[in-house]
Copies of this chain bind each other. A is one copy, B any other.
């Protein structure tokens, strides 16, 4: 009985949260940009395997024994570049997730909210392209600051007049 009652109440709560259009939009864009970030792991793995560049002895044990395998324990420009892009993603997507979630629940104007999410996702995808190609500066710097500005704009709108300290 406890379970079925809970089921009904759950539906009510879900209707409310999932019919919040700003939240639904945030959920979609957040999932897209997180999937993009996860792709960076695959890119790192791809370059490590094709270029035979490893960080752990056990990873290149299949390429030879002892000293022969150790030569693959090295760093590589290409791999380090992907790793920097990945870390930059983490540093910027984590604030977007936290601030964007709270912003989307704070009753923002729907079209303003969607504009924020779209620009952020576009800027971060362009940042990855600019980093991995690599495109000449200031392509990557601009992509970075656009995403940064979007997050700050959401933080400002969230705190303005609603600060609860």
Contacts and interface: CB of A to CB of B under 8 A. Distances in A.
Interface of A: 6, 9-22, 24-25, 27-32, 34-35, 37-38, 40-41, 55-59, 61-62, 80-81, 84, 86-87, 90-95, 97-99, 101-102, 105-107, 114, 118, 131, 134-137, 140, 144, 148, 151-152, 155, 158-159, 162-165
B137 A61 contact: yes
A27 B148 contact: no
B102 A14 contact: no
Contact of A56 (B27, B114, B134): B134
B58 A140 contact: yes
A59 B30 CA distance: 29
B34 A99 contact: yes
Given A41-B92, A55-B84, A56-B81, A19 B13 contact: yes
A24 B135 contact: no
B30 A151 contact: no
A17 B21 contact: no
Contacts of A114: 165
B162 A28 contact: yes
A30 B97 CA distance: 11
Nearest to A106: B18
Contact of A25 (B22, B56, B165): B165
16 contacts: A9-B15, A11-B107, A12-B16, A13-B16, A27-B102, A27-B105, A28-B159, A35-B155, A37-B91, A38-B92, A38-B95, A38-B152, A41-B144, A41-B148, A58-B137, A101-B101
